[in-house]
């Protein structure tokens, strides 16, 4: 599919509503099985989004949080924690309509180049069953471990 040009801009307070909608779009199918009434579903998604946001803030207080734009449209977000020993992709999320257009690949390749420039490994965690696993494997990420819910993956630094 055709590659889309994207830009990254730091996340700001004005992005909060978009970020909550993005969370709902990304995790919809996971929670839809509960078959909740619309109002209860919306409340659950807001609670889950807030829990994720607070979890990331507490676990990665220095991470760079950026909004992914295509033209003048927000299509996703990326959260990256730069440490002395590695670059950690904490989270990347794209709206359903923005997937399969090369955006994720281009962002990961740029992040990979940045990590290589610093001679650091690029690490991430991916939930079991997440379709992005195929993308990570195609880009050369290798499994380094696993938890009950996630695979731990890494692209080693350039040799």
Between CA 145 and CA 36 the distance in angstroms is 35
7-155 CATH choice from 3.40.91.10, 3.30.160.60, 3.40.630.30, 3.30.390.10: 3.40.630.30
Task: Give the residue extent of every domain in the chain.
Answer: 7-155
Give backbone dihedrals phi and psi of 114, rounded to 5 degrees, phi first: -65, -45
- What pTM was estimated for this model as a whole? 0.88
Residues of the chain scoring pLDDT < 70 = 1-4, 159
- Per-residue pLDDT reduced to its tens digit, 29-69: 777 778 878 888 888 889 989 999 999 999 999 999 999 99
Alpha-carbon distances of 96 from 29, 132, 142, rounded to whole Å: 11, 12, 26
């Amino acid at each position: 599919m055709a590659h889309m040009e994207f830009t990254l801009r730091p996340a700001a307070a004005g992005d909060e509503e978009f970020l909550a909608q993005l969370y709902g779009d990304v995790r919809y199918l996971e929670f839809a099985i509960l078959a909740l009434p619309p109002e209860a579903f919306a409340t659950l998604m807001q609670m889950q989004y807030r829990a994720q946001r607070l979890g990331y803030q507490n676990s990665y207080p220095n991470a760079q949080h950026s909004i992914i734009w295509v033209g003048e449209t927000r299509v996703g977000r990326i959260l990256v924690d730069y440490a002395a020993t590695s670059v950690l992709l904490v989270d990347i999320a794209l709206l359903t309509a923005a997937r399969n257009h090369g955006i994720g690949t281009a962002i990961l390749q740029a992040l990979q180049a940045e990590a290589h420039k610093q001679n650091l490994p690029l690490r991430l965690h991916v939930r079991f069953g997440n379709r992005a696993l195929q993308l990570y494997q195609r880009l050369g990420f290798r499994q380094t471990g696993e938890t009950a819910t996630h695979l731990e993956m890494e692209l080693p630094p350039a040799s």
